[in-house]
Amino acid sequence: MKSVGYAMLALLAAGSATAQTWQSDTGDSTALLYAGAFAPGGTTSFSCTTPSPQNVPLIETGDHESIRTDTPYDIVVGFNIDLMDPFTLPEQLDTVRIILDDVPYTLPRVSYSDFYGSWTVWMQMTDGLFPALTRAQSMVVDTGTGTAYAYPTDGLRDAVLATVNFCISGWEAQGDIAPRALSAWSGGQLAPAPAPIAAPTPASTPAPSGGQALLPGLSPAPTFPIPDQAPQVAIDRMVAQCQGEFSVDPSAVQAADVDGDGAPDYILNYSGVECFGGLTGRAYCGAANCQFDVFLSSRAYANPSEFLAIALDPVVDGQGRTGLLMASTLFGCADGACDTPFYWDGTQFTQ
């Protein structure tokens, strides 16, 4: 189980013991670069790591491998036990929300680690929560277990931006191109996105509604009609992502049974999402890729899975399995991500 780790906890203690506003801190263990934004008292934090340019093995520095945010542009949301008592609550919670200016952001499953003594959840910096933090005038952490905690926002913007930009610089130094959605709010100097590549496919193979040509052995998945009204949890998600009003082009939504329960699941391409709130325009698209959200009926359409792609289409393979075929840039297709479909295994999409 991933958690904040010893070095990050040391930063926490140093950065927030007496502070009355949000603070940021950074460090270099020679194996990992660390950055964190910490609430007064250290009860809530946002932290990230990148490989250190000194490239010293973890075993030589005492850093535990579980503290690494291995996926570029991951960020850890952490809470200490003063907020949620691990002795009276389950070790995993799906109820935690951060409410910014009365807009709720429901976190993915938050887990407690007895080894580290903290609650954490891994998220991507492109999630709508993080730009919202830089604009928030009020902040409440609602545990969903009957308690909620109000936080000051003094210093929050600067602390979050300092943390995010420190890790952006670290990942880009490793050659990992930053998601273009970060440029809308981080202020970082992001590297240009690589040119998109096309998947080699016979011309006779039909293309699904997303527009990409299909690989041999794949065919478009059966689709469902797009409803006039989206599930309320999906609407709440979009309000949170755009920090207010938004519009969706119906052509940006596909419906198919991706998780195998017989009910429609929805694939949302953010190229068709226009934000009119705290974020404006096509806030989740870059020069080539856009974010895609996959809302599954088996999860009551909550906590959508996210992809960064040019296209993401429901397909059926030769074994009758329904999956999602991705098209992306050269970087996005690294490690074979565009070679075969992603299939839902009950907990996540895997190839």
pLDDT tens sequence across 56-115: 776 665 555 556 666 788 899 999 888 998 889 998 999 999 999 989 999 999 998 766
133 plus 88 within the same structural domain: yes
Residue 159 included in any domain: yes
Q: Cβ(297)–Cβ(265) under 8 Å?
A: yes
Q: Cβ(109)–Cβ(171) under 8 Å?
A: no
Residue 189 included in any domain: no
32 plus 175 within the same structural domain: yes
Helix residue spans in the chain (DSSP H): 6-16, 58-61, 129-133, 156-173, 232-242
> Domain tally for the chain?
2
Phi, psi (deg, nearest 5) at residue 15: -90, -15
Residue 208 included in any domain: no
In whole angstroms, give the CA distance from residue 288 to residue 262.
33
CATH number at residue 137: 2.60.40
The domain boundary, picked from 184, 211, 228, lies at: 184
CA distance between the termini of the chain: 22
Residue 248 included in any domain: yes
**Which strand ranges, in their side-by-side order, compose the sheet holding 139-142?**
103-106, 97-100, 139-142, 148-151
Extract the tokens encoding 227.
């409803």
Amino acid at residue number 309: A
**pLDDT value at residue 127:** 87
153 plus 246 within the same structural domain: no
Residue 195 included in any domain: no
Residue 13 included in any domain: yes
Residue 303 included in any domain: yes
145 plus 280 within the same structural domain: no
Q: Please, which residues bridge with residue 49 across strands?
A: 34
Residue 260 included in any domain: yes
What domain range includes position 116?
6-184
In whole angstroms, give the CA distance from residue 138 to residue 95.
20
Q: Cβ(188)–Cβ(178) under 8 Å?
A: yes
Query: How would you write the pLDDT of the chain (351 residues) with one tens digit per residue?
Result: 333 333 443 443 333 334 468 999 888 888 788 899 999 888 899 999 888 888 877 666 555 555 666 678 889 999 988 899 888 999 899 999 999 998 999 999 999 876 667 899 999 888 889 989 999 999 999 999 889 999 999 999 999 999 998 988 888 888 887 776 676 566 643 333 333 333 333 333 333 444 455 667 888 889 898 887 888 899 999 999 999 888 888 888 999 999 999 999 999 999 888 888 888 888 888 766 789 999 999 999 999 999 988 889 899 998 999 999 988 777 777 778 888 899 999 999 998
